[in-house]
Amino acid sequence: MNSLSKIVNPIGLLLILFICIGSSYAEDKPNIQFENFWIVSPPEVARSAAGYGIIKNTGNEADTLIHICTESASVMLHKTEIKSGMAKMIHLKNIVIEPNSELVLEPMSFHLMFMDLSEDFFKENAEITLYLEFEKSGRFEVKLPVRSSWD
């Protein structure tokens, strides 16, 4: 009996340790996810293209998007605002994604603005790799297909 408990105890302790680490991990961390990201196919003479999608934070802590970049263009996060009947694009250097919320990038609202487009954008079945860096969650790599419509 004694020798059995000596074997069981260390395993039990390890299990408790793993459960503790697991639960604290889930309690106070952001959980960033990306959905339906894509780029509107630019006409051949275009200098810029817009990108849309949803950034979700299903975690219990806020996180801040601090940097976006791609090797295929220069890219910024924009927000379109209507001021005295005129649509104006505002450049956002960073944005907080609150816990259990999402940032929707869509026309006439938040969007990715790609400029100085490389040939990558005009290839058939083009796919652009976007890097997004968050203050707490670090760096993500998201593939964005270049498409001509919403379907």
Which residues here bind Cu ion, judged by CB under 5 A? Answer: 78, 89, 113
Q: Which is nearer to Cu ion, 56 or 79 (CB)?
A: 79
Q: Which is nearer to Cu ion, 89 or 92 (CB)?
A: 89
Structure tokens belonging to residue 62 = 């806020």
Q: Which is nearer to Cu ion, 69 or 113 (CB)?
A: 113
Q: Minimum CB separation from Cu ion for residue 95, in Å? A: 14
Q: Minimum CB separation from Cu ion for residue 52, in Å? A: 11
> 81 pairs with which residues across the strands?
88
Q: Which is nearer to Cu ion, 75 or 97 (CB)?
A: 75
Beta strands in 1-151 (DSSP E): 32-40, 48-57, 63-69, 74-83, 86-92, 95-97, 101-105, 110-115, 127-134, 138-147
Within 10 angstroms of residue 6's Cβ, the number of other Cβ atoms is: 8
Q: Minimum CB separation from Cu ion for residue 107, in Å? A: 10
Torsion, CA 21, CA 24, CA 28, CA 33, rounded to 10: 50
Q: Minimum CB separation from Cu ion for residue 73, in Å? A: 13
What contacts 46, CB < 8 A, 6 or more positions away?
A: 117
